[in-house]
């Protein structure tokens, strides 16, 4: 039991520190933080796949200003997103949706990773349950005879 103490102490320290970190790092709800977050989740309307946050095109800057005005107006993140989609279509969203075909995008890698991990666990367990090779009595006899033969 004593051998586990340093490991348990390590685990405790890490868990506590992580807990504090996670509590502190929650997404901020300030207007500026919300604007930044939306800028990263919406695409620039005239670029190829660039996020709003990364683009300096005139249309992109206009959209960034628009988002900030809508936030100041008291609209929610979801409402603002819907307004932009209404103007430019679904391609303005950089995230696949949470339902329907979007589930394939979010779900497939997760399913495969969990499935793979499960497969590894099963394989390891099966290997460790296989009996290790042990010498039978007949094998021991053969070896003893050979040794005696050598010594003689």
Partner 1 sequence: MRSALGYLAIAVGTAGSVLGIATLGAGLHLRRDSLLRAGRRYVGVVFVAAICAFAIMESALFAHDFSIKYVAGNVARATPGLYTFTAAWAALEGSILLWVLALTGYLAVTTWHFRARATDPLVAWATIVALGVTLFFFALMLGPANPFEELSRVPVDGTGPNPLLQNHPLVAFHPPMLYLGYVGFTIPFSFAVAALITGRFGEGWLADVRRTTLVAWAFLTVGIILGAWWSYEVLGWGGYWGWDPVENASLLPWLTGTAFIHSVMVQERRGMLRVWNISLVLATFCLTILGTFLTRSGVVESVHSFSESSIGPWLLAFLGVVALGCVALISWRADKLRSPGRIDSPVSREAAFLVNNLLFAGFALVVLTGTVFPLLAEAFQDRRLTVGEPYFERMGVPIGIALLFFMAVGPLLPWRATSGDVLRRRLLVPAWVGAITLVVLVVAGADGVAQVVAFSLGAFALTSIGRTVVIGIRARRRARAESVPVAAVRMVRGNTRLYGGLIVHVGVVLVAVALAASQGYVVKREVTLTEGESATVRGYTLTYLGTEIDRSPQKTTVKALVDVEGLGEYAPAISTFPNSRGGIGTPSVHTGFREDLYLTLISSPNETGTVTLGVQVNPMIVWLWIGGGVMVLGTIVALIPARRRSRVPVTSESPESPDSELVEAVEVAT
Q: Which residues bind to partner 1, rule: CB under 8 A?
A: 3, 6-7, 10, 13-14, 17-18, 20-22, 24-25, 40-41, 43, 48-51, 53-56, 89-96, 101, 104-106, 108-110, 112-113, 116-117, 120, 123-124, 127-128, 130
| Rounded CA separation 145/138 (Å) | 11
Q: In whole angstroms, how close is the CB of 143 to partner 1 at the nearest point?
A: 21
Q: In angstroms, what is the minimal distance from the CB of 112 to partner 1?
A: 6
Output the CA torsion sign for 45, 49, 54, 55.
negative
For 100: left if phi > 0, alpha if psi spans -120 to 50, otherwise beta; the answer is left
* Distance of closest approach, residue 81 Cβ to partner 1, in angstroms: 12
Backbone angles phi, psi at 51, to 5 degrees: -75, 155
């Amino acid at each position: 039991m004593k051998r586990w103490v340093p490991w348990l102490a390590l685990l405790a320290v890490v868990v506590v520190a992580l807990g504090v970190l996670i509590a502190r790092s929650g997404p901020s709800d300030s207007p500026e933080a919300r604007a930044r977050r939306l800028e990263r989740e919406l695409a620039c309307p005239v670029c190829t796949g660039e996020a709003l946050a990364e683009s300096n095109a005139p249309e992109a800057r206009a959209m960034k200003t628009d988002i900030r005005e809508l936030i100041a107006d008291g609209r929610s993140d979801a409402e603002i997103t819907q307004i932009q989609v209404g103007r430019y279509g679904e391609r303005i969203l950089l995230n696949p949706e949470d339902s329907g075909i979007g589930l394939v995008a979010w779900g497939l890698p997760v399913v495969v990773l969990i499935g793979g991990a499960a497969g590894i666990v099963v394989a390891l367990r099966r290997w460790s349950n296989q009996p290790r090779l042990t010498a039978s009595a007949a094998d021991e006899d053969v070896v003893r005879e050979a040794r005696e033969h050598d010594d003689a």
